[in-house]
Amino acid sequence: MGGGQWPRPGEISLGHHGVLFLDEFPEFGHTTLESLRQPIEDRTITVSRAHGSVTFPASFMMVAAMNPCPCGYYGDPFKECKCSSGEISRYHKRISGPLLDRIDIFVDVPHIDYEKLTEEKPGESSDKVRARVKAAHEIQLGRFQETKLNCNADMTPKEVKEFCMVEPAAQSLLRAAMKQLHLTGRAFHRILKLSRTIADLEHSDIIKTHHMAEALQYRHKEII
Amino acid sequence: MEVEVDLSPGLPSFTIVGLPDKAVQEARERVRSAIRNSYYKFPNRRITVNLAPADLKKEGPAYDLPIAIGILMSSGQLNADLTHSIFLGELSLDGKLRHTHGVLPMVALARDKGLSTVFVPCDDAEEASLIDNIHIFPAESLAQLVTHLQGEVDIPEYHSELNWEQEFRPSYASDLSYVKGQEHAKRALEIAAAGRHNILMCGPPGSGKTMLARSLPSILPLLTIHSHHCRAPFSLPSLYYFPCWLGGRGAMAKAR
């Protein structure tokens, strides 16, 4: 977070405009994780110490990785999980709801079998993916030219309203999802921002139903 | 930041005041040797150096050069009009100038304060040249700088050859194609990278979460001077105090 007698920038400020990767997410200290909440929203962090208080920029993209349970095999089709349900729920409780609410994309990375691992067919290279990401970035830069923003994740509700045009069918899908999944106001905005990015990747001006559906399926689902 | 030097009669001594830290205190020894070894006279008088404002803590060796210049001026060995100049740099004992951290933010501040000329160590000229509308003179040593200020030798002004737009190919530790399978996770990572959204990957040990995350830098577009400059004026490199940014860490800074 930054600190010291004279406030200095910490990891999240050094990750400004970059990536903050937190491996083994639940193993981080409770206070560390909870104090990420404010900088994720504000994109800055204020460090107050006896000698003074300094605001550092902290516009980072958070990438976290975790196991589904302490032994790591909960939900695995081949290996049995040895954890009790209490242990698993304790493990998940280490990451609080408000923090989870701030994460846009939840993705399962399952075990891969021998056939897949030894497959000769090479996967898509980073260069190709980067070209698509870059194109999407350029669309965003053009969109935010008049504002101080850099990317879709930086949008505030005001900009979400301005830039996220949703087609009617997608709107009704979002309405139904909001009701059924009891999503929060913040989740609502985050889903819109995420679907905006998915639409950008397809160079689409309005958010269509399949963009919205993909954004929705990345939301957090209770594991137990 | 201002460096004031005063020579007064009395027992020879050399004091630095204005909340200096250890590195600034040690400037006394470096400055003394550097002046002697550059064949100037170190005045045998009571020397007081004040780093203003006095209530702010001073850190690092960047004050060596201004202190040395101040001493040479107040002892009459250097006559020049330096009202619009700023000096930065660490001195070695033989009077050469060494690389100093934090040149970029200091030069940026100097320009905003309306100063027109900055003298920096040769190593830091490239870094300083990222700031426009200010004249940058790279100095090799104290002696060279003093002769330049007296008009005997001319140090050419530095013009950067650095081209931000040029093709730059960083080498990445990992490539997405190294990860077999996991197509939906790759897709999610691509979306996250495109809009800079937060992402949480969940899976059993050894399934490739860490490898996927390692490959993330390779799909992010390069940082541009635009994102440094226009949107967040130098906040990124200033944070890093620019540690040999244009050299060793080039890849990191441009490739996130």
pLDDT given at position A224: 40
Q: Taking the CB of residue B21, how many other CB atoms lie within 10 A of it?
A: 12
pLDDT given at position B218: 83
Residue where the block lists tokens 């002004």: B157
Pair (B80, B198) in one structural domain: no
Q: Name residues 115-174 of chain A within 8 A of B (Cβ).
A: 116-117, 119, 122-126, 129-130, 132-134, 136-137, 140, 148, 150-154
Give the end of a domain, one of B149, B184, B205: B149
Full residue range of the structural domain in which residue B75 is found: 2-149
Burial class of residue A101 in the structure, from the number of CB atoms within 10 Å of its CB (0-12 exposed, 13-18 middle, 19+ buried): middle
pLDDT given at position B138: 92
**Is B245 within the bounds of a domain?**
yes
Name residue B215's amino acid: S
Pair (B40, B137) in one structural domain: yes
Pair (B190, B133) in one structural domain: no
- What does residue B170 show for φ and ψ, rounded to 5 degrees? -75, 155
Nearest residue on chain B to A100, alpha-carbon basis: B200
Pair (B8, B43) in one structural domain: yes
Pair (B105, B184) in one structural domain: no
Pair (B90, B180) in one structural domain: no
pLDDT by residue, tens only, chain B of 256 residues: 788 899 999 899 999 998 888 888 899 999 999 999 999 999 999 999 999 888 888 888 889 999 999 999 999 998 888 888 999 999 999 999 998 888 888 888 888 888 889 999 998 888 888 788 889 999 999 999 999 998 888 888 888 766 655 555 666 777 888 888 888 888 998 999 888 899 999 888 888 888 888 888 888 877 665 444 333 334 444 444 333 333 333 333 443 4
- Report the percentage of chain A scoring pLDDT > 70: 96
**Is B133 within the bounds of a domain?**
yes
Instruction: Judge whether A68 is closer than 8 Å to chain B, CB to CB.
Output: yes
Q: Taking the CB of residue A55, how many other CB atoms lie within 10 A of it?
A: 14
- Report the percentage of chain A scoring pLDDT > 90: 4
Give the end of a domain, one of B149, B164, B193: B149
Number of domains observed in the structure of chain B: 2
Instruction: Judge whether A107 is closer than 8 Å to chain B, CB to CB.
Output: yes
Q: What is the mean pLDDT of residues A81-89?
A: 87
**Is B135 within the bounds of a domain?**
yes
Pair (B190, B119) in one structural domain: no
DSSP calls for chain A: -EETTTTEE-HHHHTTTSEEEESSGGGS-HHHHHTTHHHHHHSEEEEEETTEEEEEE---EEEEEE-SSSSS-TT-SSS-----HHHHHHHHHTS-HHHHHT--EEEE-----HHHHT--S----HHHHHHHHHHHHHHHHHHTTTSS--SGGG--HHHHHHH--B-HHHHHHHHHHHHHHT--HHHHHHHHHHHHHHHHHTT-SSB-HHHHHHHHHTS-----
**In this structure, what token pair is assigned to residue B35?**
């002046």
**Is B154 within the bounds of a domain?**
no
**Is B167 within the bounds of a domain?**
no
pLDDT given at position B249: 33
pLDDT given at position A6: 67
Average pLDDT, chain A: 84
Min Cα separation A161/chain B (Å):
17
Q: Where are the domains of chain A?
A: 2-103, 126-217
**How far apart are alpha carbons B215 and B255 in whole angstroms?**
12
CATH code, B47? 3.30.230.10
Q: B119 in helix, strand or coil?
A: strand
**In this structure, what token pair is assigned to residue B21?**
């830290």
Pair (B237, B110) in one structural domain: no
**Is B6 within the bounds of a domain?**
yes
Pair (B129, B247) in one structural domain: no
A53 band by pLDDT with thresholds 50, 70 and 90: confident
DSSP type of residue B141: B
Question: Does ipTM exceed 0.95?
Answer: no
Pair (B47, B105) in one structural domain: yes
Pair (B145, B180) in one structural domain: no
Instruction: Judge whether B151 is closer than 8 Å to chain A, CB to CB.
Output: no
- What does residue A23 show for φ and ψ, rounded to 5 degrees? -80, 150
pLDDT given at position B251: 31
Q: Summarize pLDDT for A57-70 with one digit per residue, the tens.
A: 788 888 889 888 88
Give the end of a domain, one of B130, B149, B168: B149
Which chain A positions have a beta carbon within 8 Å of B189's beta carbon?
Answer: 107
Nearest residue on chain A to B56, alpha-carbon basis: A51
pTM for the structure as a whole = 0.75
**In this structure, what token pair is assigned to residue A150?**
């850099």
Q: Is A152 in Cβ contact with B202 (below 8 Å)?
A: no
Q: Summarize pLDDT for A148-205 with one digit per residue, the tens.
A: 777 888 888 888 888 888 888 988 999 998 888 888 888 888 899 999 999 989 888 8
Instruction: Judge whether B240 is closer than 8 Å to chain A, CB to CB.
Output: yes
For A97-111, A206-220, B155-169, B212-226, which range has the lowest pLDDT when averaged over its residues? B155-169
**Is B107 within the bounds of a domain?**
yes
**Is B158 within the bounds of a domain?**
no
Instruction: Judge whether B172 is closer than 8 Å to chain A, CB to CB.
Output: yes
Asked if residue A90 has pLDDT above 80, the reply is yes
A29 band by pLDDT with thresholds 50, 70 and 90: confident
The CATH architecture assigned to A2-103 reads: 3-Layer(aba) Sandwich (3.40)
Q: Who's near A54: CB < 8 A, 6+ residues apart?
A: A2, A7, A46, A47
